[in-house]
Structure 1
Amino acid sequence: MKKTVESPANRYYGGPNSDHFDGKLFHNPGGVLPLGFRDVLRWQFNGLRSAWPKAWPSPFPQAKPRWRVTGEGLSVTMVGHSTLLLQVDGLNILTDPVWSERASPVRFAGPRRVNAPGIAFDDLPKIDIVLLSHNHYDHMDIATLRRLHQVHDPLVITPLGNDAIVRPAVPMLRVSAHDWGDTVEAGEGTRIHVEPAHHWSARGARDRRMALWGSFVLETPAGHVYFAGDTGFHEGRNYRHMAEKYGGFRLAILPIGAYEPRWFMKSQHQDPDEAVEAMRLLNAGHVAGCHWGTFQLTDEPIEEPRQRLHAALDREGVSRELFRALQPGEVWQVATV
């Protein structure tokens, strides 16, 4: 675990320079920086934002997951957006947990969920580990992290600098902060690797790119699992690297939503067509599609990500059963590859 040391230039992290840290800010090597405030205004006033329903209930009932999944078993349950419960090798792992009503720094404004969490908080099994990909409000929800600490006391694994945001708000929470390429031992049979994603970070207007973002690879006796976090396609570079490094994946969890308008979102959020290409590049046997259908963050209609995903799969001759756009409460017992 890297120890976070604040510096005058960066309120969250101070450490040695690297290919993705210049001593003050993090960046994507060979990548694209997030656009600026003028571009945000241009997007916000483009008049192209689709109308989402105020409520879009999931067709699946709230799940009540088994306590543990062992052996060759691998289960994934969609909670909503990028929050999923992974059960593998006797571990219960949450990705980017958000149970709050809004993905926002305030309770009275900001994106509001249009469906209930796919697992009621009180029905969660004992949570061992939280994978926290970055600090945007639809991924890092302090209220949920506080509840998880009080009830489950999980270990939170996150990229560099995010611990400096979480610890003051939840002082006794166990947080382990890591650079890309670091590995965490998670029990007897599972290792968790922190890996690159093409994204950015901010909690406000003055802390852009001061904390690192990332993806995760779970190396388990039941197979490899990849959680992309939030990412742009980035010419498939990170996906190729993951396949070369790990050989392939039994399951990948990939974002498929929040991609319009493309001129603004392309570098930070991949679209469904790119997600299907990512499946091939990763050598992934199964893919769970996330980051759609719960919080309206961008311009596309609520059902479009799934429709475009199905069209891309059909075009590429890939079974829709292998790449599912998961909805809250949906439970997938992932077959072996």
Structure 2
Amino acid sequence: MNRYYSGPTSHNFDGTRFYSPGQPSADKSLTDLWRWRRGGDKATWPKHVAITPQTPPARSDVARITMVGHASMLIQVAGVNLLTDPVWSDRASPLSFAGPKRVTAPGIAFADLPPIDAVLLSHNHYDHLDLATLGKLHSGHRPLMVMPLGNDAIVKTAVQDARIETGDWHDNIKVAPDVTVTLTPANHWSARGIADRRMALWSGFWIHTPHAQIWFVGDTGYGDGAIFHDIRRRHGSPDIAIIPIGAYEPRWFMSAQHVAPEESLRIFHDVGAKQALGMHWGTFQLTDEARDAPKELLYASLAEADIPAERFVALDAGDVHLHGI
């Protein structure tokens, strides 16, 4: 029985669990997890990396994207303020005293946030769906929260009167008169514990605005690349693609769920993005690679492909991208 969602079977739901049709399964056994953890190949990260926090403007018509950290980004465009996967907690974990601890402060202090109109939640993993942060956002901003099917049940356990819109892949949700969000497919999975695997859906978000088309990819493996070619057919090429580049080692364990930087570059090519920004690295140590390895491998891949480094920038906490400026 699915504890989060009840609905008819569909192209990506078998009546109990969601899945990515035709793509490698990201499911791993406890034996696989034990094999990974006992491998002993985990790099040592610094305990703290200094950053320069930003104080963003109240609004922006041109696209202005500020990296908070990991997959948390403030997207300001067309006078609307959006937050993706907001996590201001010290740990990406159900526990306050254990689990991945952030090594960079948030790129925007919570008190310095402008008015938040909408929150885009890609899936329910703890490094993306942080109930403590959502509760603070609801109290201070009361944003619309947009998320894939089933995740509303989790959010409502902590924020009972949250304003929530849910959708399946390819559904459109209006967040402002001129701004619409479309949920896009991703090759990933979901779980908050050991008995709820894939009971809530995961997605990316295509943000349609008069000033820019912005695609927040969400967590994904590359698979056969079909979903990225389909996204381009449906939406065209984004002005800005926000693509994950980290949490990818070891590949035998992670490849179905997280792209490595050279695959991030393939996504960039597949959708024909004018500009790409790298996320999902450098804040929480979730996997084995060194902290700066995703950025270094991305820039090496760009150089090998003879692509200027400014076309695909790995954003660190506190970095700001202004589109077209």
TM over 0.5: yes
Give 1:189 deviation, angstroms. 1.3
Equivalent of 2:263 in 267, 271, 274: 274
1:278 counterpart letter in structure 2: I
Equivalent of 1:47 in 40, 46, 55: 40
Partner of 2:154: 165
2:59 counterpart letter in structure 1: R
User: Hey, what's the Cα distance between the residues in 1 that align with 2:322 and 2:98?
Assistant: 36
User: Hey, what's the Cα distance between the residues in 1 that align with 2:143 and 2:133?
Assistant: 12
Equivalent of 1:132 in 121, 139, 145: 121
SS at match of 1:43: helix
1:1-337 to 2 correspondences below 5 Å: 9-33=1-25, 34-58=27-51, 61-70=52-61, 73-335=62-324
User: Hey, what's the Cα distance between the residues in 2 that align with 1:220 and 1:170?
Assistant: 29
User: Hey, what's the Cα distance between the residues in 1 that align with 2:312 and 2:297?
Assistant: 12
Give 1:177 deviation, angstroms. 1.1
2:64 counterpart letter in structure 1: S
Task: Report Cα offsets for 1:68-108 as digits up to 9, x if no partner.
Answer: 111xx111000000000000111000000000000000100
8 Å CA contact 2:12–2:21 kept in 1: the answer is yes
User: Hey, what's the Cα distance between the residues in 2 that align with 1:127 and 1:156?
Assistant: 10
SS at match of 1:175: strand
User: Hey, what's the Cα distance between the residues in 2 that align with 1:144 and 1:254?
Assistant: 23
Give 1:175 deviation, angstroms. 1.2
SS at match of 2:309: coil
8 Å CA contact 1:167–1:175 kept in 2: the answer is no
Unmatched tracts of structure 2, length 5 or more:
none
Give 1:182 deviation, angstroms. 0.7
The TM-score normalised by the length of structure 1 is 0.95
User: Hey, what's the Cα distance between the residues in 2 that align with 1:171 and 1:163?
Assistant: 10
1:233 counterpart letter in structure 2: Y
User: Hey, what's the Cα distance between the residues in 1 that align with 2:106 and 2:321?
Assistant: 16
Report the more deviating stretch, 223-232 or 92-101: 223-232
User: Hey, what's the Cα distance between the residues in 1 that align with 2:66 and 2:39?
Assistant: 36
1:65 counterpart letter in structure 2: P
Give 1:236 deviation, angstroms. 1.6
SS at match of 1:321: helix
User: Hey, what's the Cα distance between the residues in 1 that align with 2:123 and 2:161?
Assistant: 20
8 Å CA contact 2:23–2:224 kept in 1: the answer is no
Task: Report Cα offsets for 1:227-282 as digits up to 9, x if no partner.
Answer: 01111112222111111111100000010000000000000000000001110111
Unmatched tracts of structure 1, length 5 or more:
1-8
User: Hey, what's the Cα distance between the residues in 2 that align with 1:316 and 1:277?
Assistant: 11
User: Hey, what's the Cα distance between the residues in 1 that align with 2:248 and 2:113?
Assistant: 31
User: Hey, what's the Cα distance between the residues in 1 that align with 2:291 and 2:212?
Assistant: 33
1:63 counterpart letter in structure 2: Q
8 Å CA contact 2:220–2:258 kept in 1: the answer is yes
SS at match of 1:245: helix
2:107 counterpart letter in structure 1: G
Give 1:19 deviation, angstroms. 1.2
Partner of 1:4: none
User: Hey, what's the Cα distance between the residues in 2 that align with 1:128 and 1:298?
Assistant: 33
